[in-house]
Every structure is written in structure tokens, then in C-alpha cells.
Amino acid sequence: MERELVSERTIAGLAAAQAKGGTGGGRKPTMTADKMDTARKLLAAGDKPATIAKLLRVGLSTFYRHCPAGDSRDK
């Protein structure tokens, strides 16, 4: 009984969010376009990826996911 109520409310909430124009939930990305631009500039300047990730306040794995190591350093 209670489980069905929770399920109905969840589905109704997701449908309402979708009707309002949202996706219905999800986490916001940590690497914004501004952070990506900053990361590319710092990589081109020769800074280390760990230093850049700490400066941008993102994890190193998140940094590498968005800016592969050889992206701007090879130029």
C-alpha cells in the first residue's frame, strides 16, 4: 500500500518536472564551459593537470575525462 503511494508520487513528480521543461532530475555537471576554457589555457601554459584540477575544484579523474592529457600539451 505505502510502496504504491511512493511510486505514484515519484512518477507524478517526474512527469510534472518534464512538463515544466526539466529533465526530471540529475546532477549538474562540474566542468562548465568557463572551467574548460580555463583548463585549456592553463594546460597550454604548461601547468600540471593535478594543479589545474585542484585550482578548478574538480577531481583529477573529472579533469582527465573532459581534457585528455595530450589535448593541449602536444602543441
Please tell me the predicted confidence (pLDDT) of residue 73. 44
Q: Which residues contact 5 (CB under 8 A, 6 or more apart)?
A: none
Look up the domain containing 12 and give its range: 1-28
Q: Is residue 38 domain-shared with residue 9, that is, in the same domain?
A: no
Please tell me the predicted confidence (pLDDT) of residue 71. 56
Residue 74's pLDDT band (cuts 50, 70, 90): very low
Instruction: Give, rounded to a whole angstrom, the gap between the first and last alpha carbons of the chain.
Output: 63
Please tell me the predicted confidence (pLDDT) of residue 23. 64
* pLDDT tens-digit readout, 28-61: 889 999 999 999 999 999 999 999 999 999 999 9
Q: Is residue 42 domain-shared with residue 14, that is, in the same domain?
A: no
Please tell me the predicted confidence (pLDDT) of residue 43. 93
Q: Which residues contact 51 (CB under 8 A, 6 or more apart)?
A: 42
Question: What CATH number is associated with residue 39?
Answer: 1.10.10
Distance CA 39, CA 58 (A): 11
Please state at what angle helix 49-56 crosses helix 33-45, rounded to 10 degrees.
150
- To the nearest whole percent, how much of the chain has pLDDT over 90? 61
